[in-house]
Structure 1
Amino acid sequence: MLVKNLLPAFVAIGSAAAQSGTCSISGGTTTINSQADATGLASCRTVRGSVVIGRNAGPSIDISGPGEITGDLSVVSNGNIETLQSSDLATIGGKFELRNVTKLNSVSMAKLTAAKEIEWDTVTNIESMTLGPLNKADDIRISITSLRSLDSLDLGNVANLKLDNNARLSKFSSNLRTLSKNLVLASNGIGGIGLEVELPNLIWAVELDINNVTTFSVPSLKTVNGSARFGSNFFQSFSAPNLTATTSGDISFIGNAKLTNATFPKLEAIAGGLTIANNTLLDELTGFPKLKSIGGAILLRGNFESVELPALDNVRGTFDASSSADISASCEAFDKLAPQSQGGNGAIQGGYDCTSNNTQANEDTDGSTSGDGGNGGGGDKDNGAAGMALNTALFAVIALAGFAVAL
């Protein structure tokens, strides 16, 4: 049963447990509705179960005493609480959840170093947090807050990290080394376009989904198991100087309005596809000098004046490039790699199209191209850019191409 008050919850505790400071909660969960309820936990060193801060508790709740809560610590849909603190809590075995807590402005838990999961969603008034710092967690999501800093997070390894819609968060710098699942960044900073990201020690990630950032620095990144996708960002330059491969996914840059340079000097293989589209200031695509193998398709759209992939010798999917400028010289080089049915050496195993002077190279929404074909591809081909919308549609095209190759 759900325990509404602390006294009944602890009446049944045996003397041995009480002497050891372990408090087992009848029913698994206790609800704190006042500071008096919270003070009832002070003699416990370990709380076996979950603790819920009730919807009407507040304005200040101090749960000092326990060093560990084996279950969750949750505050949900509370419009009263302004401060939440503990001078002793070091470990939360489950989720630390703050959701729809609109008056909370401070979380102070200076000894908290471990929680299985952090989920803070719609904590709109909070500007600061003081944690241990937190150095152990599997999953972290911080969404729709007014936090100005995440310095209280000092994580070396994490599975999932998602930061989105944090309007005052202008910088995120972390010693993170590995991401075993996903990193998602979107709409942080003033106006959703202000986040500077520095991850100097990140060497391995599974999925990167990076949106609306002004800088993204990953100088040590060596391997991405899944995909690395960059959409609608505001950085001028991106470099992954030590990335050598993606082992199962794509690399894409779509709609990055200020991008003038993207450099991957050591990248040799992409297991999925390569998509670079609608980055209107990117006029030279020359940052992949060692890229040899693409397991999916290549889709290039933009205002390119030059496209170079000098080491390319294996594309399992299609190759489709189109520019608003004249890339006929680049197309001549790629013509040699076209399928044998199109006069090439067969390094490109799917269809091949390379066009210049396409006025719709950054849109491709009207069902046709209006450019001049290179030697290996005509501007009137039905399998060119026709009908492709950017962003989501482009991702879908690459994914389908990869699926077809797998079959």
Structure 2
Amino acid sequence: MHIWSLVMALAYIPFLVQGKNRDESTPEIPSSCHQNEFNIQSPEDLENIIDCNILVGNIVISDYNYPIITFSKLEKVLGNLTILKSPELVRIEAPTLEYISSRFILTELTSLSLISFPSIKYINVLDWSILPILSNVHLNHEIQGIESIRVSDTSLTGFSGFIADKLDILDINNNRFLDTIECNVEHIYGKLHIAANAIDVKVSLPKLRQVSNLSINNVERLNLDQLETVDNSLSLSNNYFQQLRFPQLETIGGTLSLLQNEQVNHLEFPSLNEIGGGLMLVNNTKVDKINFFPKLKIIGGALELVGPIKEIVFRQLKLVKGSAIVKSTSQQFDCTKWSTSDILLVVRGGKIECTNYKNEKFTSRTRKEGHSQGLHSNTVALIYRFIL
């Protein structure tokens, strides 16, 4: 298996010169190479466009009944290149293809093992899915213009070498042998989604500063050291890393969820001051002290903490707009003390509830419900320090 590396640049210089500026060496496009859509299902159909250097229109290849597709002379596609639902297809080759103006879509190609586009320099959208034995990809190392990437259900082993400042989507999922994901992107305006790749996958986005939605699962190592802003939600679930650091992260517009990361024992959020949604720390079984939000002031939703919690410290927290719920399995946590502490001054909506290792539950009313009424029957045990 070969590691796939894509190197993306930012600038795109148009290759076609129109009207008066047309170079004399630029050939006219024959009518056979220009139509809204080219539908190809057999080698005979492919033969109709085999002499085209430039194709104007969308190419759709489906139910193709031969193991090899070769674009021997094609240099440019002004439209989409879509190849799908062709279980007999094994190889796709385009030795001279340099440019795909829009989408390069491959899907439901269950026998495809090789893609060779050694001259490709420009792709706008890369969307590959259900290519379960694809392991060999040969692409040019200077691809320009990519705005969106989805790679799902392949046998690729690596995905690295990006030099793209901006993407709309980066979605890498269900690639069972993929153990390296590296990208130098700085802004992702849509979603960043990484999940269900190799168990030991290492993810490094060392220059990422801003992302709209972030969801990362099943990762052994994660580098997001320059991330400053998450516009919506940040979710990390079922990961295998031992350390989690966000040294520059200041704001999260939606919910922060850390769920069932069973190996993590060291967390750092030294700069985070506001969470627009809820804060959920649930079943991170080696995290027993919640003391890694030294500057957090506002939680715009609910606070939910579940696990072997011994201590809770929020030094700057001033406002929780939803409920505050703690469930601790530690005998060292005092629910009675926590439920009647200064948490009552911070929570403005919902309820304050604490359940201890004996499954005894304590609840307190918040200011929104009225002045504190103390505890209802049942109880919760945890040692809670709340420092304002």
TM-score by length of 2: 0.81
Mapped to 2, the partners of 1:283 and 1:306 lie a distance apart of 7
Unaligned runs of 5+ in 2: 1-23, 366-371, 381-388
Q: Which residue of 1 aligns with 2:5?
A: none
Q: Which residue of 2 aligns with 1:364?
A: none
Q: Does 1:209 align with 2:215?
A: yes
- Identical counterparts, % of pairs: 24
8 A Cα contact 1:22 1:48, kept in partner: no
**More divergent stretch after superposition (372-381 vs 232-241):** 372-381
Q: Which residue of 1 aligns with 2:293?
A: 288
Mapped to 2, the partners of 1:49 and 1:202 lie a distance apart of 35
8 A Cα contact 1:332 1:374, kept in partner: no
Q: Which residue of 2 aligns with 1:160?
A: 169
Mapped to 2, the partners of 1:276 and 1:378 lie a distance apart of 24
8 A Cα contact 2:182 2:204, kept in partner: yes
8 A Cα contact 2:339 2:364, kept in partner: no
Cα offset, 1:282, TM superposition? 0.9
Q: Which residue of 2 aligns with 1:136?
A: 145
Cα offset, 1:263, TM superposition? 1.2
Mapped to 2, the partners of 1:301 and 1:66 lie a distance apart of 58
Mapped to 2, the partners of 1:268 and 1:173 lie a distance apart of 28
Q: Which residue of 1 aligns with 2:262?
A: 257
8 A Cα contact 2:362 2:376, kept in partner: yes
3-state DSSP of counterpart to 2:140 = coil
Q: Does 1:355 align with 2:350?
A: no
Q: Which residue of 2 aligns with 1:195?
A: 201
Mapped to 1, the partners of 2:221 and 2:340 lie a distance apart of 32
Measured on the aligned residues, the alpha-carbon RMSD in Å equals: 2.9
In structure 2, the CA distance between the partners of 1:334 and 1:209, relative to structure 1 (3 Å rule), is farther
3-state DSSP of counterpart to 2:157 = coil
1:53 to 52, 57, 61: 61
Deviations 1:315-338 (A, max 9, x none): 112212221122339954982131
Mapped to 1, the partners of 2:296 and 2:277 lie a distance apart of 13
Q: Does 1:234 align with 2:224?
A: no
8 A Cα contact 2:335 2:354, kept in partner: no
In structure 2, the CA distance between the partners of 1:358 and 1:333, relative to structure 1 (3 Å rule), is closer
Corresponding letter in the other structure for 2:34: I
1:81 to 68, 79, 89: 89
8 A Cα contact 1:328 1:355, kept in partner: no
In structure 2, the CA distance between the partners of 1:372 and 1:243, relative to structure 1 (3 Å rule), is same
Cα offset, 1:208, TM superposition? 0.5
Cα offset, 1:309, TM superposition? 0.9
Corresponding letter in the other structure for 2:211: A
Q: Does 1:274 align with 2:264?
A: no
8 A Cα contact 1:313 1:337, kept in partner: no
8 A Cα contact 1:328 1:374, kept in partner: no
8 A Cα contact 1:93 1:116, kept in partner: yes
In structure 2, the CA distance between the partners of 1:330 and 1:282, relative to structure 1 (3 Å rule), is farther
Cα offset, 1:43, TM superposition? 4.1
Mapped to 1, the partners of 2:26 and 2:49 lie a distance apart of 13
8 A Cα contact 1:177 1:202, kept in partner: yes
Q: Does 1:337 align with 2:343?
A: yes
Mapped to 1, the partners of 2:163 and 2:30 lie a distance apart of 29
Cα offset, 1:249, TM superposition? 0.7
**More divergent stretch after superposition (81-90 vs 287-296):** 81-90
3-state DSSP of counterpart to 1:252 = strand
Cα offset, 1:110, TM superposition? 2.2
Q: Does 1:324 align with 2:329?
A: yes
Deviations 1:255-305 (A, max 9, x none): 111121221000000111100011111111111110011111111111011
Cα offset, 1:100, TM superposition? 1.3
Mapped to 2, the partners of 1:152 and 1:108 lie a distance apart of 18
Mapped to 2, the partners of 1:131 and 1:160 lie a distance apart of 20
Mapped to 2, the partners of 1:284 and 1:370 lie a distance apart of 21
Mapped to 2, the partners of 1:312 and 1:217 lie a distance apart of 27
In structure 2, the CA distance between the partners of 1:183 and 1:22, relative to structure 1 (3 Å rule), is farther
Cα offset, 1:379, TM superposition? 7.3
3-state DSSP of counterpart to 2:27 = helix
Q: Which residue of 1 aligns with 2:124?
A: 116
3-state DSSP of counterpart to 2:46 = helix
Cα offset, 1:91, TM superposition? 2.4
In structure 2, the CA distance between the partners of 1:379 and 1:263, relative to structure 1 (3 Å rule), is farther
1:307 to 312, 319, 341: 312
Deviations 1:322-381 (A, max 9, x none): 21122339954982131xxxxxx3x3201342536335xxxxxxxxx4256799874747
Mapped to 1, the partners of 2:174 and 2:283 lie a distance apart of 24
Mapped to 1, the partners of 2:197 and 2:62 lie a distance apart of 30
In structure 2, the CA distance between the partners of 1:83 and 1:176, relative to structure 1 (3 Å rule), is same
Q: Which residue of 1 aligns with 2:74?
A: 66
**More divergent stretch after superposition (35-44 vs 66-75):** 35-44
Corresponding letter in the other structure for 2:281: I
Higher relative contact order (CA 8 A, sep 6+): 2
Cα offset, 1:103, TM superposition? 1.5
Cα offset, 1:102, TM superposition? 1.4
**More divergent stretch after superposition (130-139 vs 218-227):** 130-139
